[in-house]
Structure 1
Amino acid sequence: MKLKLLFFWVFVTGTLVQAQNSGSISGKVLDKTTNEPITYASVEIKEAGKIINGGVTDEKGDFSIKNIPLKSYTLEVQYIGFKKYSSTIDFTSSKKVFTFKIALEEEATQLKGVEIVSERSTIEQKIDRKIINVGKDLISAGATASEIMNNIPSVSVDPQTNAISLRGNSNVRILIDGKPTTIEASQLLQQIPSSSIKQIELITNPSAKYNPEGMSGIINIVLNKNSKIGFNGSINNGVTFGKTPKLNSSLDVNYKSGKFNMYGNYGLNTGKNANHGFVKSTEPGEENYQDFKFNNNNTSHLAKIGLDFYWNEKNTISIYTSQNAFKGKGNSSTDVDYLDPTQPDVLQLFNNTNKNYTQTYNLDYKKDFKKAGHTLEFEVNYSNDNNKEDAAFTAPSATNYITNKGNNTLINLDYTNPLSETAKLELGLESRIENTKNNFLKDGAYNSDFAYDRNIYSAYATFSKQWGKWSAQAGTRFEKYKATADFKKVNENAATFQDDLFTLYPSGFLNYSPSEKNSFNFSVSRRVDRPSIDQVNPIREWSTPQIDSEGNPELFPQFTNSFELNYTRKTKIGSITTGVFYRRINDEITRTLFENPTNPEKLILSYANLDDNNAYGVEVSGNLEFTKWYSSNISFDAYNKKTKGVVANEYVAVDVTTFNARMSNTFKPSKNLRLQLTGMYRGQDLGLQFLRKPMWKIDLGSSYTVLKGSGTITARFSDVFNSMHFAFNGSKPKQQNGQFNWESQSAYIGFNYRFGAGKNKALQRKERDKNETQGSGGF
């Protein structure tokens, strides 16, 4: 008992002595302009430049630091977007308590704190992706995401089908804000207004953390939003004049105060489009000339609203919903003129109305532990879409009514633990439940229906380590995949399809940075392309007098082993990245055209699995500023592919090298005026059935800043020489050639206005919204 009392007396005496020989500081940090409290500002106490204590302000802007030894120190308060506050504190036996009221002054370099859209797009090369920050030059390049994509390095969009490809391959996965969508990519890109896009990320060799779909990688479209203090936003309006005017508008608003950040975005894209083309068949005995004319009037509304709740410094809850409503009306004509006078010509008229409504709901919880970078994140994402098409044909006369409903539920759990300053462990679980139902009525009566369900359960583990100038990451994704499909059609036996697989998807990265100006990165991964719902759906997608387009329920997945090496060189005028890649593709999925077995005069456009194939290539891109008044984004790529397989009952093999290039130049004659000159070239491409001819164009643009930097007027003239069109030659299954034209030559005028006085906040928002790897080891 005496011993316990002795210990207690020693403890109390030590505590009293420490209290008598230590001091404390407290205070409040405010915005000098608005007099509002600043949350999460950094407060540091330094001795001879070394931090000996510190903290952050709470939601009221208050801070308190105790038990400070009685010495002389420097007090520093910092917050992003504000000038640093610094003051000397002298603790003595007679002065142990200090109270401050600190008003931080905004940095003079900020323009009212408003986030300004860059005049020109910039390209960042990161460890696992290439990021294109969308500037006004790309926004004015077109009204939709589809038109922007054609101006992105290594990306192309088929003008006929709107199918997107990366490095010459259409097996690419599209994400919106890092999330999958139930809408087919070809339709989705037509619905997103260009002014709603903030970034486009090209992830050509994703790590095990990401879903393995997409042979050529992932394209992630990041929509606008921000999290600045106060109320701020921007309004963007633009009109594209082709044969008819097209409107592209968006409104972005944000309000951040205390623990809450609320944001909203609305985009409108509406207008008429007129396209035309021809296909000439030279097949002996079947010579004909098909003339196509297409007119569409589309309107798309895209809205997104969200809320971030910063429960405290370590816990964040985020919710958002996006709503997309699309309505399109179209009419077209197909005029088939046969060379044989005994065969009657055909004129088919087509009218259709397409309505699609898609909604997404997302909940995310982020937990930050005491150790920096130690996090746990849980996310639930649900989306569904309802698509209806009402179409009428003549020659022969028929009506089609198609409904397509889909649901997608995604549940993620991600855990990140920096084991040390140079090592990091990442673990995760994911569940995806998807289902689609399709119903087809012909002439008002039931014709067929199609149901497709798939469940994917996966887990991943990655470990990264940095030592000196080297860093590495290795990981594996474990995935259980199950899919079932049921197809019923009148007068036919019901058909079923099943697929049940357990697969491992390893990945690895190795990075070497001999200096700040040089960086080498090698990566390897295994990926899969599972047949999409549209690819396996045997119900008619579209039809002409000569061709029916439909899916193939017999498709099976293709697997790809991908290798990539990149070198980035930073110079005084910018950065240049050079990369080479190689892909080994098993059972490649491709478009195929073959004779209709029930009607030899018609063709069926569908999908098929080919043999094992190879592809390799090189890419070079640079983001350079030669002088204060001249800068340029330059990129080119060349890739070779060897493809072989059976098409039209014949074994075919091709070996082709394709070259693409793009150059965007920005000139600055004055502080407020910018001029742009952009050119692109896409080389010819040879497939098993078609040769696609080269495509090229040149665009001119300008922008002028007004209203003391808050407004920008943009003008652009696209395809100056009206040279952009899609042309092809085909030999299988029939000899034919053709060309399709759209409103490539157009003029654009737009105005962007930014308002509000928000400042950047220091606390990061949830990382998964960016779908980006974080942390030590360069990963």
Structure 2
Amino acid sequence: MKLKLFITTLLCSITFGFAQNNGSIKGKVTDKKTNETLPYVNIIIKENGKLVTGAVTTEEGNFSITKLAPQKYTVEIQFIGYTTVTKNVDLTTNANQNLGTIAIAEDIIELKDVEVVAERSNMVQKIDRKVINVGKDLIASGTTASEIMNNIPTVSIDPQTKEISMRGNSNVRVLIDGKPSNVSIEQLLQQIPSASIKQVELITNPSAKYNPEGMSGIINIILHKNSQDGFNGSINTGVTFGITPKTNSALNMNYRVGKVNFYTNYGFNHGINANNGFVDSERTNLENRQDFNFRNKNNSHLIKFGMDYYINDKNTLSAYTNQSFTSGFGTGLTTVAFDNPIANRNTNQSFGSDGKNKNQTYDVVYKHNFDKKDKTFELQANFSHTENDENTLYNETIFNPTQSFERRNILNGVTDYFQLNADFVNPLNETTKLELGVESRIQNSSNRLEDVNPSFSSANNAFEFGRNIYSGYANIGKQVGKWSGQVGLRMEYFDLQADFEVNQTNPSFSDKQRVNDEIFTVYPSAFLTYNANDKNSFNFNYSRRIDRPSIGQISPIREWTTPILESRGNPELTPQFTNSFEVNYTRNTKLGSITSGIFYRKISDEISRVVFNDPNNPNRNILSYDNFNNNDAYGIETSGNLKFSKWWSVNASADVYFRTVKGTVQNSNTNALENAEADVTTFNVRVNNSFTATKDLRFQLFGMYRGKDKSIQFDRKEMYRIDLGATYNVLKGKGTITARLNDMFETMRFAFDGSIPYRQQGAFYWESQTVYVGFNYMFGGGKNKALARKQRDANEVQSGGGMF
């Protein structure tokens, strides 16, 4: 009898133990006025006022919280710009509660004081991308997009070449408001004032919905766009003090009345940038030291103007234009001093360069919402025109015996880009969604270089480039319980024509080259997500991608030149293909969310740098590009957005990349071309601390470490920096004063040591230690509309092939 009683008691205890954490609460959140579902709404579970757990709603507005003890709880539904809704739930009588549809309304009072620019940047991990909401701390870290990118996880900017890379690879596609630009990435990032940026999206492994360019994925820079009722705006202006002062300003305004919303953004950037460096070369019989001093004065204007017309609840017409104007004047001096000046002639080369760039982009979108929920059709047209002119005068002096000559390069470039696409989304049922789209992209570019050299032969070089891409895609997504998946296929037909012509005088000479290429390619993709519970989720994905050579990589027209080095493209380049695999894990804790991931890339026909001797000048090298054999790359990264206390929060990220770099160099003694490769391990860390001293005063402490890197030519030494900043709210919260000291200990520099094709070492320095002082002010007093926020203020790319 005692044994039966013991067994019964034990079984009851076990049953009670399992049951006491088997409760659940689920529901769906919608906008009270529009009845549309609201994603990423905070669901807070409390017991007697103490936080127990929480979650956020899915893209469809649903939430489900499990493993709850049979107790009484308070459920709070919180969303920025909406009134908080509270529900009392009793799991003691019913362990599984369905709250049904919860409609929440806008908080008009709160929205009148909504901040256009947040104090602190934050990162949101979404299904297929990381979204960095740019706050005043990032704006204060630099005057241009190029400067703030180094503070963003997984992204790096080369301080000398301004080349952008993601996950240790420079094959990345950069978009502005979801659209490509005719301007080179390096130039584009220096044209955009940091104060004009609202968000940066990192899409490391895009689906078949998106264009497949960029082995490392896509970086989408989103400019400010408001949609508040009435007249609203903000102004952000600042000065960076270094060797010379630099200004960075932006004005954002919108006016919404009735069915029409007008918005505009104006950004201005002005300043002089000075940098210098040296290279010591130990090339046999040509040992020398090169000293470089450069000074560039740049002015850039960026204007965005757009309109949204809400025809009715089902139809919306939107249009905008981006206009950017950049002018710059640069001067420089390169000195080459040989160890044996008797055998080799020392050289001084000075230059003055006057450059202008103008870009015009026009975009029109029509969107139709069907009666069926989430069923949409979108038609979009985009056109951009870019003009790029440069006039550079070189003065070169060669000593022993002294000889001087002038050389003038006149470069004129024009690029036109047209894109037309249609996208259709149809939820077949509550758990299945179909996406279809077609797209046409047409690009034409012409570059002409007039090389005027009175002392030697002159040449007129012309490069004509045309590229047409026609594509279609299909995605099908399915959700089964805790699992959700998506498979997709993108098909593209690619047609390229390139013509290069050299007309040289004294003596008379003419050479023509033509390149034709036609490729039909299929790009599959697959995504699988497993939400184990509220705190743990896993994501597995695969995609095939392509890196088509850019105009700069294939144009044989000289890009730049020094007395002993010249850079030019290679018209014979072919595309490289990549199979990319990725696994991510997200853990939600009481402190915040942490996302970790690993990736692997299988690369074929990799495009890389090549160095060889100039056949017309044995003392000068040519820096170009070529295709190489297959390659592998993989890496590990983790990032977190954590709040340790009410006064201390941290955004942190760390990553390590492993890859093999390949290239071709010319033996400096035999002139033979040799293949070279190097195994590379790169480690990076970024930590951004935010300290809240009072309601109006905050401090930021930012630190980064960029580990050693390796290329075919040289090993790049490590670099690191520490920034300290503060923000103070004034004018009843409508104004903010920001101050920041960048690179407190002046440790940033580009230092290298190499042995291929010969021993060389050097370093380059720039104005890394600067002080920024800025002021932000908001004016107007309208309120956001839920529909406007969901469709535009979130500034997410909503159609696939179209936007990309």
- Fold match (TM-score > 0.5): yes
Deviations 1:436-481 (A, max 9, x none): 0001112287511000000000000000000110000000100000
**In the aligned structure 2, how far is the partner of 1:769 from the partner of 1:501?**
34
**In the aligned structure 1, how far is the partner of 2:361 from the partner of 2:317?**
17
Q: 1:82 to 1:699 in 2, by over 3 A?
A: closer
Find the counterpart in structure 2 of residue 158 from structure 1: 158
| 1:360 aligned partner, one-letter code | T
* Conservation of the 8 A alpha-carbon contact between 1:114 and 1:754: no
1:414 partnered with 2:423: yes
**In the aligned structure 1, how far is the partner of 2:521 from the partner of 2:269?**
41
Question: Shift in Å at residue 688 of structure 1?
Answer: 1.9
Unaligned runs of 5+ in 2: 1-30, 37-77, 87-104, 397-404, 504-508, 667-672
Find the counterpart in structure 2 of residue 234 from structure 1: 234
* Conservation of the 8 A alpha-carbon contact between 1:114 and 1:758: no
Find the counterpart in structure 2 of residue 131 from structure 1: 131
**In the aligned structure 2, how far is the partner of 1:735 from the partner of 1:79?**
60
> Which range moves more in the overlay, 278-287 or 639-648?
639-648
Aligned with 1:418: secondary structure?
A: strand
* Conservation of the 8 A alpha-carbon contact between 2:319 and 2:363: yes
Find the counterpart in structure 2 of residue 66 from structure 1: none
Question: Shift in Å at residue 400 of structure 1?
Answer: 0.9
Find the counterpart in structure 2 of residue 656 from structure 1: 680
| 2:430 aligned partner, one-letter code | E
Question: Shift in Å at residue 319 of structure 1?
Answer: 0.4
* Conservation of the 8 A alpha-carbon contact between 1:366 and 1:766: no
1:739 partnered with 2:752: no
Question: Which structure 2 residues correspond to residues 728-767 of structure 1 after superposition, within 5 A?
Answer: 728-763=752-787, 764-765=790-791
**In the aligned structure 2, how far is the partner of 1:252 from the partner of 1:160?**
32
| 2:474 aligned partner, one-letter code | A
Residue 466 (structure 2) aligned to one of 429, 453, 456: 453
* Conservation of the 8 A alpha-carbon contact between 1:178 and 1:769: no
Q: 1:379 to 1:599 in 2, by over 3 A?
A: same
Find the counterpart in structure 1 of residue 60 from structure 2: none
**In the aligned structure 2, how far is the partner of 1:325 from the partner of 1:317?**
27
Find the counterpart in structure 2 of residue 700 from structure 1: 724
Question: Which structure 2 residues correspond to residues 45-84 of structure 1 after superposition, within 5 A?
Answer: 81=81
**In the aligned structure 2, how far is the partner of 1:564 from the partner of 1:42?**
37
Find the counterpart in structure 1 of residue 47 from structure 2: none
| 1:771 aligned partner, one-letter code | V
1:722 partnered with 2:743: no
Find the counterpart in structure 1 of residue 410 from structure 2: 401
Find the counterpart in structure 1 of residue 19 from structure 2: none
* Conservation of the 8 A alpha-carbon contact between 1:616 and 1:641: yes
Q: 1:695 to 1:615 in 2, by over 3 A?
A: same
Question: Shift in Å at residue 735 of structure 1?
Answer: 1.9
Question: Which structure 2 residues correspond to residues 328-343 of structure 1 after superposition, within 5 A?
Answer: 328-342=328-342, 343=344
Find the counterpart in structure 1 of residue 50 from structure 2: none
Aligned with 1:321: secondary structure?
A: strand
Find the counterpart in structure 2 of residue 587 from structure 1: 605
**In the aligned structure 2, how far is the partner of 1:308 from the partner of 1:276?**
48
Find the counterpart in structure 2 of residue 712 from structure 1: 736
**In the aligned structure 2, how far is the partner of 1:181 from the partner of 1:355?**
16
Find the counterpart in structure 2 of residue 575 from structure 1: 593
* Conservation of the 8 A alpha-carbon contact between 2:280 and 2:761: yes
Deviations 1:65-120 (A, max 9, x none): xxxxxxxxxxxxx999465999xxxxxxxxxxxxxxxxx9944444x243331111
Aligned residues: 685
Find the counterpart in structure 1 of residue 582 from structure 2: 564
Find the counterpart in structure 2 of residue 16 from structure 1: none
1:293 partnered with 2:293: yes
Deviations 1:202-226 (A, max 9, x none): 1110000000000110100000011
Question: Which structure 2 residues correspond to residues 245-644 of structure 1 after superposition, within 5 A?
Answer: 245-342=245-342, 343-395=344-396, 396-443=405-452, 447-490=460-503, 491-644=509-662
**In the aligned structure 2, how far is the partner of 1:585 from the partner of 1:135?**
36
* Conservation of the 8 A alpha-carbon contact between 2:407 and 2:452: yes
| 2:724 aligned partner, one-letter code | L
* Conservation of the 8 A alpha-carbon contact between 1:594 and 1:733: no
Question: Which structure 2 residues correspond to residues 113-152 of structure 1 after superposition, within 5 A?
Answer: 113-152=113-152
Question: Shift in Å at residue 372 of structure 1?
Answer: 1.3
Q: 1:83 to 1:644 in 2, by over 3 A?
A: closer
Q: 1:259 to 1:40 in 2, by over 3 A?
A: farther
TM-score w.r.t. length of structure 2: 0.83
| 1:659 aligned partner, one-letter code | F
Deviations 1:571-628 (A, max 9, x none): 1111000000000010111122222122121011111112110000100000001000
**In the aligned structure 2, how far is the partner of 1:613 from the partner of 1:43?**
51
* Conservation of the 8 A alpha-carbon contact between 2:226 and 2:793: no
Q: 1:704 to 1:604 in 2, by over 3 A?
A: same
* Conservation of the 8 A alpha-carbon contact between 2:108 and 2:783: no
Q: 1:85 to 1:158 in 2, by over 3 A?
A: closer
**In the aligned structure 2, how far is the partner of 1:695 from the partner of 1:201?**
26
Aligned with 1:371: secondary structure?
A: coil
**In the aligned structure 2, how far is the partner of 1:702 from the partner of 1:84?**
31
Q: 1:130 to 1:81 in 2, by over 3 A?
A: closer
| 1:731 aligned partner, one-letter code | S
**In the aligned structure 1, how far is the partner of 2:379 from the partner of 2:756?**
51
TM-score w.r.t. length of structure 1: 0.86
**In the aligned structure 2, how far is the partner of 1:695 from the partner of 1:372?**
52
Q: 1:357 to 1:40 in 2, by over 3 A?
A: farther
**In the aligned structure 2, how far is the partner of 1:134 from the partner of 1:79?**
19
RMSD of aligned C-alpha atoms?
2.0
* Conservation of the 8 A alpha-carbon contact between 1:114 and 1:755: no
**In the aligned structure 1, how far is the partner of 2:257 from the partner of 2:622?**
58
**In the aligned structure 2, how far is the partner of 1:474 from the partner of 1:603?**
48
| 2:618 aligned partner, one-letter code | P
Question: Shift in Å at residue 345 of structure 1?
Answer: 1.2
Unaligned runs of 5+ in 1: 1-38, 45-77, 87-103, 775-779
Find the counterpart in structure 2 of residue 51 from structure 1: none
* Conservation of the 8 A alpha-carbon contact between 1:614 and 1:643: no
Deviations 1:353-410 (A, max 9, x none): 0100000000000000011110000000000100100110011411111000000001
**In the aligned structure 2, how far is the partner of 1:729 from the partner of 1:296?**
27
**In the aligned structure 2, how far is the partner of 1:40 from the partner of 1:258?**
20
Question: Which structure 2 residues correspond to residues 671-686 of structure 1 after superposition, within 5 A?
Answer: 671-686=695-710
Find the counterpart in structure 1 of residue 13 from structure 2: none
* Conservation of the 8 A alpha-carbon contact between 1:612 and 1:644: no
| 1:591 aligned partner, one-letter code | R
**In the aligned structure 2, how far is the partner of 1:84 from the partner of 1:617?**
42
* Conservation of the 8 A alpha-carbon contact between 1:450 and 1:488: yes
Question: Shift in Å at residue 196 of structure 1?
Answer: 0.2
Deviations 1:22-58 (A, max 9, x none): xxxxxxxxxxxxxxxxx993489xxxxxxxxxxxxxx
